[in-house]
Structures are given as C-alpha cells and as structure tokens.
C-alpha cells in the first residue's frame, strides 16, 4: 500500500511540476481534457501549445532527473514529416521494474477532418481551472466530444463513451464552426444520442464533418494540398513509422506462455502499452491498423535455448523503438 502511494505521488508530482515549469516559462498552452482531478492523471496529459520542441525536452528532462524516473522517451511517430495541423509531440516517462508510466502529448492544433478545429491564437482564447491551470474553453471540449464518441463507438471503452456522452448532452454552450444547418445538426445529434440511435448519429456526424471540411477548404483553397499531405501522413504512420512494434518470444512450455501473457496484461493495465495480440490472430492489413497505436504484436516460437527474460525482451524492444532523452 505504501509503495502504491509513493508511485502515485511520483506521477502526480511530475504532472504538477510540468504545469509549474510551463507557467514559470510564461509559455502559452492549455490542457485539452481530463483535468478535473488534476494533478491525478489516469493515463496521459494532453496539452495544446506552439512551444518549441527543444524547450519541451529541457523541461521534461529536468523533471525526470528530479523524480528519478528510469527513462524519458520521445515518440516522433506522429510528428516527423507531419503538418502543423496534425503534429503531436509525444513523451513517455517510464519505470519498467515498477511498471509506472506517464504519457505527455503536445498538440499544435486540435484538428478535425484535416482542418484546424481549435488553436490558441491568444491567451484570451483560454479559460482557467483552479486559477493557474489554463484549459481550452469548456464549450470546445464538450462539443468536440461528439466527434470523439463517433470515433470510439466500435471500442469497448464504455466508461469513456458514457463520460463523453454525458458531457455533450449536458452542454448548452456549443463551439460553432459557422457552417449551414449547424444548430439543427447539434440538436439532431443530441436527440439521436439520447435515443441511442447510433446509426443516424454516425450519418449526421459524417455530414457535420463534411460541412466543416468543405467550408475550411473553400475559404482556404491555397491549403488544399493539406488533404493530400494527410494521406501521406497516414501512409507513413501505418506502413513506415507505426507507434507500436513487434516482439519475438521463445518458450519451452505452456506455463511459460501463461506467465508471459500475465506480464503483457500487466503492461496493458499500467498503460505502458495500449494492447497486445499474437500476430497469427490477425490478418496482414489489420496488423497495420493495430500497430498505429502503442500496441505490441507478438510472434512466438518454441525454443529451449532461450536466454533472456520476457521483461528484458520487452524493455530492449521499447528502448529501440523510441528516442531516449
């Protein structure tokens, strides 16, 4: 119990220090979501900012040393060669032995359908939580939830769906993109979500996104190249620079396999990985989709000459995959 409290405090204090350092540096930023229990962060801290990447690295490295995290990694799979609209700078604080993990994401822009849905243009565009914690306007967060609901409906994350649904339905303030029929669309989305009519809900969401997309590129025709650039980004992410990675394991018997699976489940529970699967369980194309997130795809083979532990195998693969800071 004492160890759990120490680990929880380490994560909490790291989050507090990141916010304090950003405030001291007078950097323009805002927390995107999941700030109501601040500084207790369940999984990751999502921030929106135009901060220089080298400044981020200096701040986070200083905090890693202060709280004695084993490793700090930089994941550029969603930033290298990406446009500003879609760029996400991702960092991982990791203690492998204690299975302690904290993810920090820096978004340049909150994007939707390859368009800038929200961005910080001036400090007045932010609101504040607990006086010194800047957040994006609540109406932006709660309206954006409707697009996130449509995206995660196929998942099993019922808790998140329920939370986003509640926030959107109780939200009377709407972040409007000034497209035609917008008020009627919002009203219809709420009506179908209340009735749990998900088929109609998804069709209306598609139409709403289409209108936002068309309006943005009609008014910004010179930026139409971003549509094709997004295709290039997705091609990179799925085929050349996936966030997840493959692991090859050797085993002698079924009991070893069971112990490995328990370890992978612990990695998932601690959020060091999002999920894991055996490669033979997945068709080739779905493997590419699966590795777009921080998942691991496992290839197993029977081998009595194996030398290394599963913990070391995973750790070595993780260190190779991401950039150590």
pLDDT band at 2 (very low <50, low <70, confident <90, very high): very low
pLDDT for the residue 15: 95
CA distance 275 to 126: 34
Predicted TM-score of the model (pTM): 0.91
CB proximity list for 112: less than 8 A, separation 6 or greater: 144, 147, 209, 212
Phi, psi dihedrals of residue 290, rounded to the nearest 5°: -60, -40
pLDDT for the residue 60: 97
Which domains are delineated in the chain?
1-135 (3.30.460), 137-241 (no CATH), 242-324 (no CATH)
pLDDT for the residue 224: 94
Give me the sheet containing 295-302, strands edge to edge.
Answer: 245-251, 295-302, 275-278
Share of the chain above pLDDT 70, in %: 95
Share of the chain above pLDDT 90, in %: 71
How do residues 199-241 score in pLDDT, each as one tens digit? 999 999 999 999 999 999 999 999 999 999 999 999 999 999 9
CA distance 1 to 240: 43
- Does the pLDDT of residue 323 top 60, yes or no? yes
How do residues 299-319 score in pLDDT, each as one tens digit? 998 876 667 899 999 999 999
Judged by average pLDDT, the poorest of 61-65, 258-262, 285-289 is 285-289
- Does the pLDDT of residue 5 top 70, yes or no? no
CA distance 193 to 39: 31
Top pLDDT among 114 and 71 is at 71
């Amino acid at each position: 119990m004492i160890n759990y409290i120490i680990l929880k405090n380490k994560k909490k204090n790291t989050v507090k220090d990141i916010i304090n350092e950003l405030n001291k540096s007078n950097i323009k930023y805002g927390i995107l979501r999941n700030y109501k229990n601040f500084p207790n962060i369940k999984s990751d801290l999502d921030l929106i900012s135009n901060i220089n990447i080298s400044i981020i690295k200096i701040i986070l490295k200083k905090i890693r040393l202060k709280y004695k995290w084993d490793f700090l990694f930089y994941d550029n799979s969603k930033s290298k060669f990406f446009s500003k609209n879609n760029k996400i700078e991702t960092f991982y604080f990791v203690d492998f032995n204690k299975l302690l993990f904290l993810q920090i994401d820096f978004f340049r822009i909150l994007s939707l359908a390859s368009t800038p849905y929200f961005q910080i243009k001036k400090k007045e565009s932010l609101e504040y939580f607990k006086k010194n914690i800047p957040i994006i306007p609540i109406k932006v967060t709660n309206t954006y939830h409707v697009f996130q609901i449509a995206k995660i409906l196929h998942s099993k994350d019922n808790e998140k769906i329920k939370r986003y649904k509640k926030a959107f339905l109780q939200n009377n303030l709407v972040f409007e993109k000034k497209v035609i029929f917008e008020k009627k669309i919002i009203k219809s989305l709420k009506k179908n979500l209340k009735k749990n009519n998900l088929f109609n809900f998804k069709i209306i969401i598609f139409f709403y996104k289409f209108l936002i997309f068309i309006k943005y590129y009609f008014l910004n025709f010179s930026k139409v190249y971003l549509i094709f650039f997004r295709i290039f980004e997705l091609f990179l992410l799925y085929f050349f620079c996936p966030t997840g990675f493959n692991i090859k394991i050797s085993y002698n018997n079924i009991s070893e396999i069971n112990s490995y699976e328990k370890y992978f489940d612990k990695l998932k529970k601690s959020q060091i990985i999002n999920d894991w699967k055996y490669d033979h369980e997945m068709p080739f194309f779905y493997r590419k989709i699966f590795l777009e997130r921080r998942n691991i795809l496992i290839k197993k083979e029977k081998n009595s000459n194996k030398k290394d532990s599963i913990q070391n195998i995973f750790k070595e693969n993780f260190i190779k995959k991401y950039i150590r800071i």
